């Protein structure tokens, strides 16, 4: 029984790997972008926040800032911008909109969804010329000034 389960698990993993690789194998102008980030919000004297986040996945870290915050019927909207860096020295700059939905019964905690719009003329290194959009979702605790997000999408040249 254990041998059968091990074989099924190996076949399932092999199937997933085969399914994921060909999606980008023939397209050299598009690359997947995705992973997990642990965001830290650092308050600034002008009332804005700087964001610092170590990341796993296709980029290694990000820094950014919240440039404006608006209250909504369900939580907050944040105008943001980020700078993402790969381990090989590629950079992209994004201008973003964050939608924060309040978690009922948990003051200061929000579900967050961000749409990142890559600024093609501000990319460099191995990411020179790439543009497009990608998304993230997760949870943030503005009382503790921290969050956890999952980002994913595709950028193209």
CA distance 8 to 10: 5
- Provide the pLDDT for residue 114: 98
Set out the domains of the chain in order of their start, with CATH numbers: 27-156 (2.40.160)
Nearest to 61 by CA among 79, 42, 87: 87
13, pLDDT greater than 90: no
C-alpha to C-alpha distance for 60 and 127, rounded to whole angstroms: 13
Residue 12 main-chain phi, psi, to 5 deg: -65, -45
Mean of pLDDT values over 12-36: 57
Of 61, 74, 155, 86, nearest in space to 113 by CA: 74
pLDDT digits (tens, 9 = 90+) for 56-71: 999 999 999 999 999 9
pLDDT digits (tens, 9 = 90+) for 121-149: 999 999 999 999 999 999 999 999 999 99
φ, ψ at 88 (rounded to 5°)? -90, 10
Looking at every residue in the chain, the average pLDDT score rounds to 85
pLDDT (0 to 100) of residue 6: 40
Residues comprising the chain, all counted: 157
């Amino acid at each position: 029984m254990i041998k059968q389960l091990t074989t099924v698990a190996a076949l399932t993993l092999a199937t997933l790997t085969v399914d994921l690789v060909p999606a980008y194998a023939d397209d050299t102008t598009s690359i997947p972008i995705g992973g997990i980030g642990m965001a830290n919000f650092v308050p600034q004297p002008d009332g804005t926040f700087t964001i610092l986040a170590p990341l796993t996945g296709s980029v290694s870290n990000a820094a950014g800032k919240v440039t404006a915050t608006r209250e909504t019927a369900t939580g907050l909207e944040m105008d943001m911008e980020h700078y993402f860096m790969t381990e090989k020295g590629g950079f992209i700059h994004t201008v973003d909109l964050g939608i924060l939905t309040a978690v009922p019964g948990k003051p200061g905690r929000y579900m967050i969804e961000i749409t990142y719009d890559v600024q093609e003329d501000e990319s460099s290194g191995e990411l020179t010329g790439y543009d497009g959009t990608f998304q993230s979702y997760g949870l943030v605790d503005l009382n503790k000034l921290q969050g956890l997000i999952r980002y994913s999408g595709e950028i193209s040249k």
